[in-house]
Amino acid sequence: MTVQPIACHSAGHSTCQATAQRPARAHGAGRQVPRHLRRALVLSLSVFAALSGTTAQAGLTAFDDRSSFLAATLQTQTETFDGWIKDTGFHSSAVDVGGFTLSMTAGASDVYNFIDAPPAKSIATDINGSTHLMVFTDTGIDLTFSFDQPITAFGADFKGINDAFERTLFSAGGQFATVPGDPLNLQLTFFGVTSDTPFSSLTFHGVRNDIYGIDDVTFGTALRVPAVPEPGSMLMLSLGLAGVVAARRRAGRATQDHPHSA
């Protein structure tokens, strides 16, 4: 594998020299990286490091808006539940809605956990006035989607999930993802994932009691484009950026030690 020092290519030749000849730059009039940019670089490194550590195994990429999610998919279908015209519970026995089956851990509340046809049981979980899922997961009580065919993309609209703090945790194919919450419990939120490897079921794990609505469940195939650069180039990018940040920090400290040169 041929690996180039990415930082040099992306930031220009002078950066290469700065990295290699730090003392020459320490007292110079070289531009310092603004603090907010440094923070962004450090944050990027953290993310890169995290990604580099997980790309070896099956990974989920999470999305919090539908358009970005759809842009990362190849072929999907959407279940609106609107063909259901009367409330139908899936709390005690599984319900096949077409491309997937809904089921709950034994002992799930029979007051909730049903396909909610208009009128909605609660405005707090009503997605858009149409039929949707009305869910109540709790500690040890999970909701599971089992798909007829393995998929690599899943997304849906939610209302009221993870309000105030984490109550529900998502997993698919042995990988976990955080479902973004809505602190004020007023707005619709979107959550979706694409996966490196196909999965046939996914679960919303009850961490704490959580009542929420789900609608417009979109599922199918993700684009087979790596979501992140391969680990080798990612590592080089991280090392290159780390070098830049370290050099700039030293330059900054040197300037503080010698205020006259600032």
153/60 Cα distance (integer angstroms):
9
The verdict on 130 binding Ca ion (CB under 5 A) reads yes
Cβ–Cβ < 8 Å for 149, 192? no
CB distance 168 to 161 below 8 Å: yes
185: left (phi over 0), alpha (psi -120 to 50) or beta: left
Nearer to Ca ion, 82 or 166 (CB): 82
End-to-end C-alpha distance for the chain, whole angstroms? 43
**Closest listed residue to residue 194, CA positions, set 169, 174, 220:** 220
Q: Is 157 in the site for Ca ion (CB under 5 A)?
A: no
Q: Which is nearer to Ca ion, 96 or 230 (CB)?
A: 96
| Minimum gap (Å) between residue 105 Cβ and Ca ion | 23
Per CB under 5 A, the segment of 7-15, 23-31, 208-216, 252-260 that binds Ca ion is: 208-216
Answer for which of 48, 63, 69, 81 binds Ca ion (CB under 5 A) is 81
Q: How far is the CB of 130 from Ca ion (least distance, A)?
A: 3
Among 42, 87, 236, 254, binds Ca ion (CB under 5 A): 87
- CB nearer to Ca ion: pick between 196 and 216: 216
Regarding 204 and contact with Ca ion (CB under 5 A), the answer is: no
Of residues 18, 41, 8, the one with CA closest to residue 251:
18
Which residues contact Ca ion (rule: CB under 5 A)? 80-82, 87, 116-117, 130-132, 215
